[in-house]
Amino acid sequence: MPMHYLFTPEGDAALVAILRGRPLIALDFDGTLADIVDRPSDARIAPELALRLATLTEHLPVAIVTGRSVDDVKGRLGFEPQMIVGNHGAEGGFDLREEAARRAELDPLRRLLIAHQMQLSGAGIDIEDKGLSMALHYRLAPDADKALTLISDLLERLDYPVRTFAGKMVVNIVPLLAPDKGAAVHDLVAACTASGALFAGDDVNDEPVFESAPDHWLTIRVGQDHPESRAQYYINQPQEMQRLFDRMLSVLITPPASGTASPAKP
Of 23, 6, 22, 16, residue with least CA distance to 254: 16
Give the pairing of strands 218-222 and 233-235: parallel
Q: How far is the CB of 184 from Mg ion (least distance, A)?
A: 14
Q: What share of the chain is helix, strand, coil (3-state, %, to 5)?
A: 40, 20, 40
Q: How far is the CB of 265 from Mg ion (least distance, A)?
A: 48
Q: Are 84 and 51 in contact (CB under 8 A)?
A: no
Pick 30 or 99: Cβ nearer Mg ion: 30
Pick 36 or 112: Cβ nearer Mg ion: 36
Residue numbers at the binding site for Mg ion (CB under 5 A): 28, 30-31, 202-203
Measured between alpha carbons, how far is residue 67 from residues 36, 44, 87, 112 in Å?
13, 15, 4, 22
Pick 209 or 248: Cβ nearer Mg ion: 209
DSSP letters for 50-91: HHHHHHHHTTS-EEEE-SS-HHHHHTTSSS--SEEEBGGGTB
Q: How far is the CB of 128 from Mg ion (least distance, A)?
A: 15
Q: How far is the CB of 203 from Mg ion (least distance, A)?
A: 4
The residues carrying an active-site annotation are 28
Residue number of the CB atom closest to Mg ion? 31
Pick 28 or 207: Cβ nearer Mg ion: 28
CA distance 29 to 201: 8
- Helices 240-253 & 9-20, crossing angle to 10 degrees? 50
